[in-house]
Amino acid sequence: MAAAAAASAAAAKALTNVPRSVPGLPPGVILLKGYLTMDEQIRIVLQIRELGVGPGGFYTPSYNTGARLSLRMMCMGLHWEPRTSKYEATRSSYDGATPPPIPSWLVELCGRCLGAASAAAAAAGGIQLPPLRPDICLANFYERSGRLGMHQDKDEMPDSLRAGLPVVSLSLGDAADFLYGRTREAEQASSVRLESGDVLVFGGPGRMIFHSVSRVHPHTAPRELLAATGLRPGRLNLTFRQYRARTNAP
């Protein structure tokens, strides 16, 4: 009897330790509110700042039309080129720089975030997310007027997309409105607020959702984060992904 009671208590404790995702999101889309600790947020900001001032650091990307994106971007692992919507080994349209590698501790952090999201999905009776070996990380910084239109993250290799390999997204700094839906029409999209420390994952059946950043909310970043890092007003977003499903493919 005592052993059974102890086992039951342990199981109950394990369940309470599982992160909870925001309800009402589409299958395969998991949002963990405030999952990143303040220490982790501070370390991320300081690391990205260090990488962002060197070769391959932050710049303002543009399309073939000359129109500029309303954000500053730095790529790690591979460079995403908005003029071709393809990944490449160097930043060919700007300065020819080679993107820095993803720091190993950020790869590990991405794995922990995905594990927590998968546990939350399983606890809610949802789908099991495929594993991810991230070899690409895009760091986008949105100033207070920054935004990004409705789009799909569809420029990885076809086998990666078919496998539903997830995108793991980390939010830091000011909060933002994140729109998501089945089509490119923003008027038909739903919205959720992403705040500093939130982790958003979309994979499996939710991998190809249309999404956007429609608004950044000024003066919403945690004071402790600002004091420790001097982060400029705006939102920093990191998205991890895997270029190929088979990492040893040619």
Distance CA 11, CA 3 (A): 12
Burial of 247 (0-12, 13-18, 19+ CB in 10 A): exposed
Distance CA 74, CA 157 (A): 20
Residue 13, pLDDT score: 38
Burial pattern 135-159, b for ≥16 Cβ within 10 A else e, equals: bbbbbbbbbeebbbebeebebbbee
Residue 248, pLDDT score: 52
Residue 61, pLDDT score: 93
Instruction: Write the CATH number of the domain with boundaries 23-241.
Output: 2.60.120.590
**SS3 sequence, 198-226?**
CEEEECHHHCCCEEEEEEEECCCCCHHHH
Residue 65, pLDDT score: 84
Cβ atoms of 164 and 203 within 8 Å: the answer is: yes
Annotated binding site: 151, 153, 211
Predicted TM-score of the model (pTM): 0.90
Residues of the chain with pLDDT under 70: 1-16, 247-250
Distance CA 173, CA 162 (A): 33
Residue 194, pLDDT score: 98
Distance CA 78, CA 97 (A): 11
Residue 187, pLDDT score: 85
Annotated binding site for Fe cation: 151, 153, 211
